[in-house]
């Protein structure tokens, strides 16, 4: 009998085999543009995976970042590495994964955020397009990231439920893509 299960764990608790499966999933779900730095971005926080017969077929990661809305800092769960195996897409697996991510965000963080080109997928799940200007903090310098404005989405709740989506939004710089 084929068994599928949704599980949540930290990178620190992940087995080498499981991380290898997640990496393998990215190789098939994303095009060649998935870089080593993109891989680094999914590590260090939480993973939500769906396994089918012990094999990872869907994944999302949540890593902790500080995002500032106008001048107010939020302990943010930043979502990375959302992928479903190409042979299993449009079965609701990505939505199930993001539903578990949403529970995780609400229990551990003050705000959810991510950057994407597939807005429709996230909008159905309650995520909002950021409408204000985005920036990245390089040490003490705030640099405008105009090209990222259209991709950033947020999931406000609890302490962030009333944030103004037209405000400025900034993140800290990191190796690779900042957003």
Ligand X SMILES: CC(C)(COP(=O)(O)OP(=O)(O)OC[C@H]1O[C@@H](n2cnc3c(N)ncnc32)[C@H](O)[C@@H]1OP(=O)(O)O)[C@@H](O)C(=O)NCCC(=O)NCCS
Cα separations (Å) of 90 from 16, 18, 76, 85?
28, 23, 28, 10
Stretch that binds ligand X, among 15-23, 61-69, 78-86, 134-142 (CB under 6 A): 78-86
Among 95, 131, 167, 168, binds ligand X (CB under 6 A): 95
Asked if residue 116 binds ligand X (CB under 6 A), the reply is: yes
Among 118, 143, 158, 164, binds ligand X (CB under 6 A): 118
CA atoms of 177 and 155, how far apart (whole Å): 20
Asked if residue 177 binds ligand X (CB under 6 A), the reply is: no
DSSP per residue, 1-42: ---EEEEEEEGGG--HHHHHHHHHHHHHHS-TT--HHHHHHT
Give, as ranges, the residues between 124 and 143 that touch ligand X (CB under 6 A).
124
Considering the complex, state which of residue 29 and residue 69 has its C-beta at the smaller distance from ligand X.
29
Considering the complex, state which of residue 58 and residue 136 has its C-beta at the smaller distance from ligand X.
58
Pattern 41-70, ligand X, x by CB under 6 A: -----------------x------------
Phi-psi region of 81 (alpha: psi -120 to 50; beta: other; left: phi over 0): left
68, 74, 80, 84 alpha-carbon torsion, rounded to 10° = -130
Residue recorded with tokens 């999914």: 42
Beta bridge partners of 113: 78, 154
User: In the bound complex, what is the minimum distance in angstroms from residue 72's beta carbon to ligand X?
Assistant: 25
User: In the bound complex, what is the minimum distance in angstroms from residue 85's beta carbon to ligand X?
Assistant: 8
Residues binding ligand X (CB under 6 A) = 29-30, 58, 82-84, 89-95, 116, 118, 120-121, 124
């Amino acid at each position: 009998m084929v068994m599928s299960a949704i599980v949540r764990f930290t990178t620190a608790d992940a087995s080498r085999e499981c991380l290898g499966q997640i990496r393998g999933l990215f190789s098939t779900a994303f095009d060649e543009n998935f870089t080593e730095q993109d891989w680094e971005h999914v590590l260090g926080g939480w993973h939500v995976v769906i396994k089918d017969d012990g094999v990872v077929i869907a994944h999302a990661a949540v890593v902790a970042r500080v995002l500032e809305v106008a001048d107010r800092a939020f302990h943010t769960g930043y979502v990375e590495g959302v992928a479903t195996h190409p042979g299993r897409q449009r079965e609701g697996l990505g939505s199930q994964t993001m539903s578990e991510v949403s529970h995780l965000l609400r229990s551990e963080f003050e705000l959810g955020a991510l950057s994407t080109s597939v807005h429709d997928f996230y909008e159905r799940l309650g995520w909002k397009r950021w409408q204000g200007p985005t920036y990245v903090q390089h040490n003490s310098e705030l640099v405008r990231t105009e090209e990222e404005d259209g991709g950033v989405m947020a999931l406000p709740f609890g302490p962030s439920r009333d944030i103004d989506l037209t405000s400025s939004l900034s993140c800290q710089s990191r190796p690779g893509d900042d957003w």
